[in-house]
Structure 1
Amino acid sequence: MNSDAYLYETVRLSLLEMIASGALGPGDKAPSLRRLATAMRVSLSTASQAYARLESEGVLEARPKSGFFIRGAKACLPIPDTGASPGPDPSAPPAPLNRAELIRKVLANMSRRDTLPLGVARTAENLLPLHQLNRILGQVLRDEGERVGFYGPVEGHEPLRRQIALRMMEAGAECGVADTLVTAGAMEALHIALRCVARAGDTVVIATPSYYCFLHMLENMGLRVVEVPSRPDGGVRPADIAQAVDRFRVAACVLTPNFNNPDGALMPEEAKAEVVSLLAARGVPLIEDDVYGDMHFGPERPKCCKAFDREGLVLHCSSFSKTISPGYRVGWLLPGRFMDKALEIKATINVSTATPTQMAVAEYLRSGHYHRHLKRLRPAVKAHMEAMYALVGRHFPQGTRATRPQGGSVMWLELPGQVDTVAFMNRALEHGITVAPGAIFSSQDRFGDCLRISYCIPDAPRLEAAVALLGSLAREMIA
């Protein structure tokens, strides 16, 4: 992301926060471009760019010869009742998975380049440091010569592992270079972690709703699942985990405690500590996906479950795909007491992760770029979230429920009137818009009236029109 892009995102966020705090209300006149540019020490062009984006998102309304005005009321949508409504019973027998066909269809639609990707959990390209990272990669290729063309160690490039260990301190986890295994993204880390602790026919506990690629992976591995409800306002409850593992013979538990995909739930630190403790007491490994941990909107990074691990039973998985580059495919696994098994599995999958991108990311981290990047990225992503939240409140039918995440890049909606969101997805695709239907986020027939949308998509002048169209489709299907 270049400096101008960061500046105009900062201006957008500033205005959105003024609206959220009540300093500006519906119908109020926004500060003039010149006044705002002076107050925020940015160019008139940057302020104008921010206002143009806010206008396209429906936050501002331009009136000839009068300036910009706050448009409509800021929505305050009820939270989806994912955990309050009748949901999965942690004491229900383990179930096989059968969502593969629908998941494949969703993935095929999401890979299309001719659609507005509201169904893809991604970070907008203009928010990623791709130009800077590519320059570092070019320098690595020039400086390292032939070394970049050969296999690296199975466990990964040592300077990168050292930087990852340092990063983990911010998440509250103490680890060293020897504890870290570099992987090709978080999905490979999760795959290795599951193979370390489970085999076909075993049962694992997962949250519901849960990322559909987890479900797809579990299905392909022949694993059975027990679902425990995730609540948007607090994630999974330790008591539900305890009930599930006490009733069944469980090989592992798989959770995303920080900004669960798709509902954005953030588990309280006390709950994380309790879950780690109760699983350790029963000898059950916890596989933790923390890919969104660095994308928090609050003042401090939430701790990961690994921070409370005293027995080496937490297998921590993450990557830089959401914050730096999905294409560089650099992730990591802290396998705890399962390191030897993890190295054995990694060697049989791909021998080692790509050397050039490991070197480039290591240098990017070592130079302090990542820390500065995150300070700019987080408010920019929060601005995207606030804009999407306002658009959903303005255009979707009354009775729509929506999460307001404290981090991550996705929002979970519950539509009124028992709308079939698989049919909704198909109708939206006819208009060039992708969404992710709720049915793919559970192994059971649940969330049929829910959907996940991404708010951190590339700049799209037609964003408001797209959200308005989705709202119209929902109203038609309700009728």
Structure 2
Amino acid sequence: MTQPETDPGVFRYVSVEKHILGLIESGSLKPGERIPSLRSLGARLGVSVSTINQAYLALERRGVVEARPKSGFFVRQGPGKRSPAPRPSTLPAKPPTTVNRGALIREVLDGMGRRDIVPLGVATTDLSLLPTRQMARLLAKTAGSDHVTGYEGVLGNLALRRQIAWRLAEAGIEARPEEIMVTSGAMEALYIAIRSVTRPGDNVAIAAPSYYCFLQLLENFGLRAVELPSHPDGGVRPQALAAALDRYSIAAIILTPNFNNPDGSRIPDAAKAEMAALAAGRGVPIIEDDVYGDLYFEGGRPRCLASFDTGGQVLHCSSFSKTLAPGFRVGYLLPGRYAAKAFEIKATTNVCCATPTQAAVAEYLAQGTFERHLRKTRAVLERQARMMEQRLLECFPEETRVTHPGGGTVLWIQMPPGVDSIRLFYEAKAKGIGVAPGNIFSSCDQFAGFLRVSYGNAWSPAVEGAVAELGRLARSQCDG
């Protein structure tokens, strides 16, 4: 029996849970079979009986196993239900489309930071999973230094840029500190990147579905979207990108290759290399959003498009908002060959980012505990993803399809015909539940029956109740 990850940076009972779920999903443990006793599994895995018991009780609460008096724990009939993946867009290719989603997007964003709703519509990592107290202490420490009230350079804090360069090397990207620009979150990085390579009226290729803030940026800049179907099992296909480049005059490409928001897709490395070569051959820049790259569940850190770039054609954007401190608004941009234009835009937008938060993040990264923190966070997020997936399938109408992502913080749900996600959004909002309706993830009305739900929030009775209520609301639309 393969032993689970029991690193001190990971909750051990979560590792045991993941281990048992893996045995069930692989068929090593079948419905109705008795799972190993507390003592035997504890001895085999080298963890305490209390840890095994905590994991088994958590699996029982999830409905995966059941306790039988004087007999032990058994795999329930039909646990860990998996649905087919939501279907990609099947609409024929359309000409470049003017984006007009701003009003509905503003209503969805209204749920950000609110404490009076269950925020399932915000793609975030729960603060309980982040080193909040440690970051607060570091911020207080840096705030007491003499230089904290002064400007940083336009490119940002040098110590922070050095730390980012070392982290980028782990993703296969070679970058010197002077090639990195610190931004106010990934959104500013995307803003600068898009402005650096486009002009009003240009066509921009994006995935469908795609993060709604990409669409909002295109709308604000007067750009038109060319939508490329994204498949949950591999993202945008290189052939779809090639066909679009052949058919239309495209000024830039925007992609989230690692765990696309909202469908959770990950583009295979071979396809990333093909896309990077394709864009380079056509002279078309690619803007890469990699905010979820560190939140993978299996294997090593996925490679980025920028790691296949040889001519500075990929503008790589990311941040620490999903992994460290969202309120610090610390992101970064590798502008590649467009560095001069990016510098000009940054210098004439907000000059530089806040000094204290940059210094605090630099200090945290220098301490060397970030990887241990990420291992713990990834383990808990994967557990929450599987719990949310299972509960959605239990509560929503038959024929509902839910993604099974390998990382990130969101699930993409395809509901049966007759369920309108915009109507569901307003009905849920009236019940104090935030969700993101499918239509805001496309410039065309092709995802009316889809919904994005975040599993980044800590699992709680409030979250479980919100999922049950969403399912009830969806079923009532089917019945009506």
User: TM-score when scaled to structure 1?
Assistant: 0.92
Work out whether residues 10 and 375 of structure 2, in 8 Å CA contact, stay in contact via their aligned partners in 1.
no
What letter is aligned with 1:460? S
Q: Which residue in 2 is equivalent to 1:350?
A: 350
Q: Which residue in 1 is equivalent to 2:270?
A: 270
Partner Cα distance (1:40, 1:136) in 2: 37
Cα shift at 1:329? 0.9
Structure 2 counterpart SS, 1:349:
coil
For structure 1, which segment, 196-205 or 64-73, has the greater mean C-alpha deviation from structure 2 after superposition? 64-73
Q: Which residue in 1 is equivalent to 2:91?
A: 87
Q: Which residue in 2 is equivalent to 1:76?
A: 82
Cα shift at 1:308? 1.1
In structure 2, the CA distance between the partners of 1:333 and 1:358, relative to structure 1 (3 Å rule), is same
Work out whether residues 286 and 313 of structure 1, in 8 Å CA contact, stay in contact via their aligned partners in 2.
yes
Partner Cα distance (1:466, 1:153) in 2: 45
Unaligned segments of structure 2, at least 5 residues: 1-7
For structure 1, which segment, 104-113 or 293-302, has the greater mean C-alpha deviation from structure 2 after superposition? 104-113
In structure 2, the CA distance between the partners of 1:205 and 1:29, relative to structure 1 (3 Å rule), is same
Q: Which residue in 2 is equivalent to 1:443?
A: 443
- Identical counterparts, % of pairs: 53
In structure 2, the CA distance between the partners of 1:11 and 1:115, relative to structure 1 (3 Å rule), is farther
Is the aligned partner of 1:308 residue 2:313? no
Partner Cα distance (1:23, 1:465) in 2: 32
Work out whether residues 111 and 121 of structure 2, in 8 Å CA contact, stay in contact via their aligned partners in 1.
no
Structure 1 counterpart SS, 2:148:
helix
Partner Cα distance (1:438, 1:43) in 2: 45
Partner Cα distance (2:323, 2:39) in 1: 33
Partner Cα distance (1:423, 1:106) in 2: 13
Cα shift at 1:146? 2.1
Cα shift at 1:384? 1.3
Counterparts of 1:259-298 in structure 2, within 5 Å, are: 259-298=259-298
Q: Which residue in 2 is equivalent to 1:387?
A: 387
Work out whether residues 9 and 373 of structure 2, in 8 Å CA contact, stay in contact via their aligned partners in 1.
no
Structure 2 counterpart SS, 1:174:
coil
Cα shift at 1:276? 1.1
For residues 392-447 of structure 1, the C-alpha deviation after alignment (integer angstroms, 9 at most, x for no partner) is 23232221111111111111110112310111122222333222110110000111
Q: Which residue in 2 is equivalent to 1:459?
A: 459
Work out whether residues 10 and 379 of structure 2, in 8 Å CA contact, stay in contact via their aligned partners in 1.
no
For residues 239-297 of structure 1, the C-alpha deviation after alignment (integer angstroms, 9 at most, x for no partner) is 21122222222211111111100001111111111111111111111100011111111
In structure 2, the CA distance between the partners of 1:352 and 1:45, relative to structure 1 (3 Å rule), is farther
For structure 1, which segment, 384-393 or 98-107, has the greater mean C-alpha deviation from structure 2 after superposition? 384-393
Counterparts of 1:100-179 in structure 2, within 5 Å, are: 100-142=102-144, 145-179=145-179
Q: Which residue in 1 is equivalent to 2:240?
A: 240
What letter is aligned with 1:129? P
Cα shift at 1:95? 1.1
Cα shift at 1:110? 4.5
Cα shift at 1:456? 2.0
What letter is aligned with 1:136? L
In structure 2, the CA distance between the partners of 1:146 and 1:262, relative to structure 1 (3 Å rule), is same
Q: Which residue in 2 is equivalent to 1:469?
A: 469
* Count of residue correspondences: 472
Cα shift at 1:359? 1.2
Structure 2 counterpart SS, 1:182:
strand
Work out whether residues 414 and 449 of structure 1, in 8 Å CA contact, stay in contact via their aligned partners in 2.
yes
In structure 2, the CA distance between the partners of 1:135 and 1:357, relative to structure 1 (3 Å rule), is same
Partner Cα distance (1:111, 1:374) in 2: 23
Q: Which residue in 1 is equivalent to 2:3?
A: none
Cα shift at 1:201? 1.6
In structure 2, the CA distance between the partners of 1:127 and 1:16, relative to structure 1 (3 Å rule), is farther
Work out whether residues 56 and 461 of structure 1, in 8 Å CA contact, stay in contact via their aligned partners in 2.
no
In structure 2, the CA distance between the partners of 1:469 and 1:71, relative to structure 1 (3 Å rule), is farther
What letter is aligned with 1:116? V
Q: Which residue in 1 is equivalent to 2:23?
A: 18
Work out whether residues 58 and 391 of structure 1, in 8 Å CA contact, stay in contact via their aligned partners in 2.
no
What letter is aligned with 2:460? A
Partner Cα distance (2:44, 2:140) in 1: 39
In structure 2, the CA distance between the partners of 1:38 and 1:149, relative to structure 1 (3 Å rule), is farther
Partner Cα distance (1:445, 1:333) in 2: 32
Work out whether residues 206 and 226 of structure 2, in 8 Å CA contact, stay in contact via their aligned partners in 1.
yes
In structure 2, the CA distance between the partners of 1:72 and 1:417, relative to structure 1 (3 Å rule), is farther
Partner Cα distance (1:271, 1:173) in 2: 17
For residues 203-232 of structure 1, the C-alpha deviation after alignment (integer angstroms, 9 at most, x for no partner) is 111111000111111111111111111111
Work out whether residues 17 and 59 of structure 2, in 8 Å CA contact, stay in contact via their aligned partners in 1.
yes
Work out whether residues 58 and 464 of structure 1, in 8 Å CA contact, stay in contact via their aligned partners in 2.
no
In structure 2, the CA distance between the partners of 1:24 and 1:301, relative to structure 1 (3 Å rule), is same
What letter is aligned with 2:216? H
For structure 1, which segment, 344-353 or 20-29, has the greater mean C-alpha deviation from structure 2 after superposition? 20-29
For residues 91-112 of structure 1, the C-alpha deviation after alignment (integer angstroms, 9 at most, x for no partner) is x321111111111111113443
For structure 1, which segment, 417-426 or 222-231, has the greater mean C-alpha deviation from structure 2 after superposition? 417-426
Structure 2 counterpart SS, 1:296:
coil
In structure 2, the CA distance between the partners of 1:314 and 1:380, relative to structure 1 (3 Å rule), is same
In structure 2, the CA distance between the partners of 1:179 and 1:467, relative to structure 1 (3 Å rule), is same
Partner Cα distance (1:202, 1:333) in 2: 22
Among residues 5, 9, 14, which one is paired with 1:9 in the alignment? 14
Partner Cα distance (1:466, 1:234) in 2: 30
What letter is aligned with 2:86? P
Cα shift at 1:468? 2.8
If asked which structure has higher relative contact order (CA below 8 Å, sep 6+), I would say: 1
Q: Which residue in 2 is equivalent to 1:192?
A: 192
Partner Cα distance (1:110, 1:140) in 2: 28
In structure 2, the CA distance between the partners of 1:133 and 1:22, relative to structure 1 (3 Å rule), is farther
Cα shift at 1:67? 5.8
Partner Cα distance (2:412, 2:387) in 1: 15
Partner Cα distance (1:430, 1:117) in 2: 13
Structure 2 counterpart SS, 1:475:
helix
